[in-house]
Structure 1
Amino acid sequence: MGKAMSMVARKANRFNVENRAHRVLEREKPTPAPKYESNLRDMERTLELDPNFVDKLNTKDASLDTRLKDVYVTSKDQFIQRVLQRQETDRPLPLERTTPDDFEYGYMEPTKTSSGHCTLRQAMQFINDHQIAPEEWTAMKIADQYKLKEAHVANILYYFKTFNIYIPDQKYKDKLLTQTKQKLIQENPSTE
């Protein structure tokens, strides 16, 4: 029902639109919009300063009219020319078509660091050094070498560790496999 009502309302609004538009256009002068009080006060001030202000507004200024007639606006489509210029250039194609290598830690490391800061590579290095020889690489020595606060270095060494690779002995691995196989056989003798 809503669609039918909107269609009827649209037809009623559009009925005789052309004739109504012609009637509005044939009127002598449209009624001006009401003015705000502040606009009326501004107009009164300008009339006090220049009593011929209204006459100036209603008369045609010949000098302004001639200047307006001398102004010509021309436009040219620059986009097509730019596309043609791009196609006509004799620049050589790039010779190296390989993608650049990724950085070791996923970002480019800075070459210089300010005091109180260290790079990820330096942090990994002193964490690893401390993990290998904690008596030699103490938090105080690392803080002096990298110009860091000792409390920060102590926290880094406490909370962060490098991964250790653990490679089990092959004999021990074989022994574990035989033991588990024997247990399985003992638990389920019917599977043999």
Structure 2
Amino acid sequence: MGARVARMFRNFNLENRALREISKEKPNTAPRHAASVPPPPVSSDVSESVKQKNVPLLAHLRSVYVESRDPEAAAAETLTEVAVSREAERRPLRVSFPGGMFGLRELTDVPKGKLTITEALKALGSYQYQPQTWTPEKIAQEYSLDLKDTEAILEFFIPFKVEIIPPKTRSAKQIKAS
């Protein structure tokens, strides 16, 4: 109800107030800037000092010695050092799919401490089916992994495990575990 009363006061005599506002005299616009102003005069002393030679500055300039090197040669040296250090940190690929998967090029080596998806599935599957043969220590040694990380992976990532949840009612169909 309060909104109706407020709307009545707001809309009271609306047309008269609008006409009064429209009929007010508009403010004048600001004058435009004069475009044909001549540039300030340049003193002849400044132009003369610019054109003269400064002998002490020329002497200092001649005493400066600049030695430059080819940046491409320095960059090539650092790249070869990085490539040598990267070769020491990589290991050959253990398992791979035949052909390029998804149209990607085939990997030949992997950084130490990392696995490809194929190697991870192979390691997890072999641990699941033969835990006496494939111990966490053997998997860590085989794939150049940290033992702590390997144990965590084997504990928390369990591939190919299917859990069958029983239905809430007995009349529902259920998949038989074989």
Q: TM-score, normalised by structure 1?
A: 0.37
Give the structure with higher Rg (CA).
1
More helix per residue? 1
**More RCO (CA 8 Å, sep 6+):** 2
- Structure 2 length-normalised TM: 0.39
